[in-house]
Structure 1
């Protein structure tokens, strides 16, 4: 036996790369493990939800770091295949060898279960962030399980779409009869050898050894494994047996070696996940989102800034509070030039930084805005469901493929960046409560943060350097629809009766994490349940912006009299309409469209879409009149159907123009396909004068329908819902609004089109140019 010790040089190296490092310690190891490198040293004197920079836990609430161990907290029936991804390690193609090891121990003595490695997550075809999500339900790209249950070493499949929770054992060669581990605290070293075979395939050997004595407890060998089956992410696994409550496991000291495993130190995450900021004149607000650090760790972060290559200056300090966020507000910001900034977090002898750029206020140029909404992480959940195509002409969305996992929206982010936006507008449904995993109300905060972190992880490369405005919508607060009724609690948690299903503190947490950095509210007085508000105005790039909260004051359809914006927001719009000095244009940012731009499968106006702001009509007309008085262009999202309309009150064109952008990626589909030609139509189909199901008049100027008709979907959908995951059959993407010298230029792009390519085309009907004189 060899005794392995982390030397001082290795200790310092991994301290720098891993943020937190455990004390140097000795353990007995097999000789095969002595040359492996630690993934990350972990402190043995902390308890926290966040494990460390090199790890991603599925889900947050299912794992913790405790006294040096990565402990699984989920062992109930239904808690199969809880995983922790090794973010900085990846199995890559090629006929090379690989090794990995980890020390495990069983944490509970009730029921059965297994632990080990899951290799080949995503099949080597996914962005590392998407491949880090491989977990419970098996499916295409799900990888291979290499497991130990205290009695036997097994290899199990994780790729079945038809039996997603079976994890069938693969025939393997057992070397010797395993000696079962009986003591709860007894530590076992699992070691996996991956060796190339002469036939181009690989042999996997999984060995279990007693840490204390070095005794080999057993081995299992799996031969003729295809390279494609093992390339991809590497994850640790703890699982009870299917459908049963059972074992939970803890892990420490994961290590890897061999040329088949690539080290990716750039993939670390945390303790600062990302930032967002807004600039309103001399007021700068910056929100730093942290991972769930420990209760005993420092709770103060610092904002520092400098001009290019200058010395760092201290801005202010902020407490890391609700939602693990730190909010900085600076009131005398010099917005005439660019500044570098960084968030600084210190804990004991360790310091972490997160850098970005505060752009100067672009007063003397065309202002370009990016408009994004409705970004679901996955089309199918990763913890349930049998795989099958949704329609006869749809493809199977393999669970761990890019067809199903939209996160991290790499192409959308890349293409949006190519427009070089000056301002980002994310106008709602940044997440969906049922994706990538089903809603877990038993630990609502961590379940929300798990999903929110995915959004920020996706878009942080944009938000760290570009001012960002975020609106909270229904799915963000875990509701399918919301009519907030001034913040009241929903009776019996029935969202259809108006109000909020979950507590005011939860709503405030969502708002804090998503839009705590927004410009200051017009009137910050909270509504019922002490729920904060954020509607208000700001100026940027010589443009005056209004932010509305459609949902918070709106009443349910059964409430009399029905309310839309409410007295407070109407008062705000009246004041904003008067504020025109030094303003070259006005833009109102809101959650959804002031009309019901939708038809049913019989091509008639939809009559019951109370989720739209076509209802109530009286409130809708007052809002349009106030926005018309302000001379504003209105932008929104929510409906998953991109549209550009000129609203009407007394006729079809005496209101404002509103651009409702496409979904970034969503399931629920809407169509606008009225029967026959509409009066005063344009050059593209389904445009012209239209009266919606609430009697509202509008002129539809452009619309981006799904690529199949609604009737085809209704007649052929196997699920009998309006959901559609196959992105080839949808029209999803983002909007671009340019405020030029004398006009608005409104663009609508598909998520997968490079806007800089020679033949790049937008959705039919766009771009649309709206002169200021016609607003």
Structure 2
């Protein structure tokens, strides 16, 4: 469906139809003072632009080159005709006289017409192929045409292709700037730039010719502050207009005020988290959720927008999950500026034979040459055309083709230093939103229709690594805790996790930071969403320095209480279980130290070992498959605690795009390998001594044969996990991002198919009597009688089951259906005569 349901904007006026050389004008006359510049524009960066006194202003908090405000609603696509752009502009700091290199004007030809318009809309600050032509006027009043593809990051003085003599200085007031491009008989395009003073008494013109491809693509306003010291220029713009046959209008391209949505439905509770753009205080009340019934939109909920995260959370109980329901969310805007975004709340796939999860991690958007900060990138050029991986359209198309039932983003949806600029601590909240919006923009056509779980990891909270230490504040990340303020952390979690089912125990941790660990039931699946970072001990903390290993925490007591309850809960028709974590419970990479030894990585869930083993012992009681990411390496392994393979299987999915490819190349060959398996396969001890049996890995090193090589040769992609409730088999596959069903294959070694029961791979020492039940697929719980501890719980496949146990003794076996609360309770012990226990309807009593 068309997810952009309605768009009516007072900011931009279309003076011709979108099919006949449309003109445009942006004047912001009806826009209040606000950070968001309107649905027809994209600001680089969000914090650098704002609307003030009915015009847009560029006010970066430091000297940063080439700030751009891209036009979303129009671009240059026509091979014939002409275009003309006009804008009024001026300086905000006319009294400053020491700024050098400052200039303002237009960017034309961003992306050369070869890029997705969203990717081209990020072009700013870094030169290189696709960076466009900068046409404008500098602080000395010189009009110029500058080839932004040939510049150097951080330049102070423009190096134009063409430049006039000094004329109307920007310090003298309003400058009226125009730029036209007309196709010539030789196939080139003549560009002419003119600057005039407001009274028309001063003017200057310059012209030049460029190849046709250089004027194709995005249009933007540019503010280049200039300056080698603290003095730099700030600019304002108004009355931005364009006309000409070379322009093309796109009425389906906009961003905000509703940027996107994520939702879940669990146990008939619908939660939708709508991400808004930064709105003024008077527009934060009364966001509306509507559903379409009998062909008409009906309002079912309203809520206010959080003033920091700009999220609107809707929670609807007693949701009818038996049918697909179209929905839309509307921001509290004037009717003339209204926009709704929506999709479809899917019917519960409870009866579906095969349930598919699509899993992702590591959302890098650009190559290093584009994303690196000034100190890393001086003098280097990155290609915007080849180095822009955002908006990941190939991956999104692949996921659409595979049509999963759940999306799982395991963390690093945001990279603080690379998506696409350095972390801005002075404006951390807006800097995060700027980068978070890229994720929203890229995946919103999926998340609006498919239930979504996203959980933040270290980079999402602007840390290179993250050990939460129960929420404490930290000066250094290795001490354990959060380096950024608690309000920032809470904002991040609201944007990413508010659509999750209500937390198991909502009690905040230190600094008032919330929690989101919880259970999610959807289709035949029961998921445990685990915060494997928030309670974890920091490697340089006092607890580690004490040498007392009993003080080391992984999941913590609160989460272990949740897990121990969750593994035994098979209500709401749950047939299979999986855990969703940021990373997996082992170090499945072999990063080498300088001496050749394997690094011990405390960022993985292989450490602390006791906490890792405690988690596995709990998870296996529910026959739980483990899904995670983070490690920059796709793997599938069978985990062990006391013996190899005595616990569950894991799949670690590949990064969406990978800056730091890792490998699994152990020093010793694996034990118990099957004939023909490589040495990395088989039984291994990871660097912490944890038992892991390796079955598939996507090591880097081979050429993919796909361009750009910098992306595809680093083995990026996604995971698809299919749970078959009829066979109770689980198929795991890690896919290259260039491949999809019918158009390619998973990475070598996948798919790996395992049985549900292999997720508790421990060998029984004895068996209890076989159980035959007249109820089909009942839940069986085996409980040690003396301690009352759950041994395991499982919804069996069929009506026969022979419980295996791991110690001689007496056991309570409960057989029944948690949804009807009808149970048969048996007291049995090992060593007794092994006869089948037949359970008829009269043997089940209401609990």
TM-score normalised by L of structure 1: 0.89
Q: Distance in 2 between matches of 1:250 and 1:730?
A: 42
Deviation, structure 1 residue 690:
0.7
Deviation, structure 1 residue 650:
1.3
Secondary structure class of the residue paired with 2:429: helix
Aligned twin of 2:817? none
Deviation, structure 1 residue 17:
5.3
Secondary structure class of the residue paired with 1:98: strand
Aligned twin of 1:678? 670
- Where does 1:371-390 land on structure 2 (aligned, <5 Å)? 371-380=359-368, 381-382=370-371, 384=373
Deviation, structure 1 residue 36:
8.2
Answer yes or no: is the 8 Å Cα contact 1:411–1:752 preserved in 2: yes
Counterpart check, 1:126 vs 2:147: no
Q: Distance in 1 between matches of 2:745 and 2:157?
A: 45
Aligned twin of 1:615? 607
Deviation, structure 1 residue 168:
4.1
Counterpart check, 1:573 vs 2:563: yes
Deviation, structure 1 residue 178:
2.4
Answer yes or no: is the 8 Å Cα contact 2:361–2:656 preserved in 1: yes
Deviation, structure 1 residue 177:
6.5
Which of 195, 220, 225 is residue 240 of structure 1 equivalent to?
225
Q: Deviations over 1:240-276 (max 9, x none)?
A: 2253432111111211111222222211111100000
Secondary structure class of the residue paired with 2:73: strand
- Where does 1:267-286 land on structure 2 (aligned, <5 Å)? 267-286=253-272
Deviation, structure 1 residue 599:
1.5
Deviation, structure 1 residue 173:
6.4
Secondary structure class of the residue paired with 1:450: helix
TM-score normalised by L of structure 2: 0.81
Counterpart check, 1:543 vs 2:522: no
- Where does 1:399-418 land on structure 2 (aligned, <5 Å)? 399-401=383-385, 403-418=386-401
Q: Deviations over 1:451-510 (max 9, x none)?
A: 0000000000000011001111000000010111100111xx200111110111111100
Answer yes or no: is the 8 Å Cα contact 1:44–1:69 preserved in 2: no
Answer yes or no: is the 8 Å Cα contact 1:302–1:343 preserved in 2: yes
- Where does 1:40-51 land on structure 2 (aligned, <5 Å)? 40-44=26-30, 46-51=32-37
- Where does 1:257-656 land on structure 2 (aligned, <5 Å)? 257-307=243-293, 309-321=294-306, 322-350=308-336, 351-365=338-352, 366-380=354-368, 381-382=370-371, 384=373, 398-401=382-385, 403-435=386-418, 436-490=420-474, 493-558=475-540, 559-560=543-544, 561-581=551-571, 582-601=573-592, 606-656=598-648
Q: Distance in 2 between matches of 1:502 and 1:471?
A: 18
Deviation, structure 1 residue 744:
0.8
Task: Check 1:605–1:285 CA distance in 2 against 1; reply closer, same or farther (3 A cut).
Answer: farther
Aligned twin of 1:138? 127
Task: Check 1:262–1:604 CA distance in 2 against 1; reply closer, same or farther (3 A cut).
Answer: same
Answer yes or no: is the 8 Å Cα contact 1:136–1:383 preserved in 2: no
Q: Distance in 2 between matches of 1:587 and 1:534?
A: 17
Q: Deviations over 1:645-689 (max 9, x none)?
A: 111111211111011111111212211012454223355532111
Q: Distance in 1 between matches of 2:31 and 2:445?
A: 33
Secondary structure class of the residue paired with 2:79: coil
Deviation, structure 1 residue 600:
3.5
Deviation, structure 1 residue 387:
9.6
Task: Check 1:287–1:173 CA distance in 2 against 1; reply closer, same or farther (3 A cut).
Answer: closer
Answer yes or no: is the 8 Å Cα contact 1:187–1:210 preserved in 2: yes
Deviation, structure 1 residue 639:
0.4
Secondary structure class of the residue paired with 1:553: coil
Answer yes or no: is the 8 Å Cα contact 1:597–1:672 preserved in 2: yes
**Pairwise CA RMSD of aligned residues?**
2.4
Counterpart check, 1:158 vs 2:148: yes
Secondary structure class of the residue paired with 1:551: coil
Counterpart check, 1:755 vs 2:737: no
After alignment, is 596-605 or 431-440 more displaced? 596-605
After alignment, is 116-125 or 360-369 more displaced? 116-125
Aligned twin of 1:230? 215
Deviation, structure 1 residue 154:
1.2
Q: Distance in 2 between matches of 1:172 and 1:501?
A: 48
Deviation, structure 1 residue 706:
1.1
Answer yes or no: is the 8 Å Cα contact 2:623–2:758 preserved in 1: no
Aligned twin of 2:71? 86
Secondary structure class of the residue paired with 1:411: helix
Secondary structure class of the residue paired with 2:309: helix
* Count of aligned pairs: 718
Gaps of 5+ in 2: 1-5, 15-20, 545-550, 760-847
Q: Distance in 2 between matches of 1:483 and 1:725?
A: 34
Q: Deviations over 1:196-222 (max 9, x none)?
A: 2222112111011234x3445111112
Deviation, structure 1 residue 93:
5.4
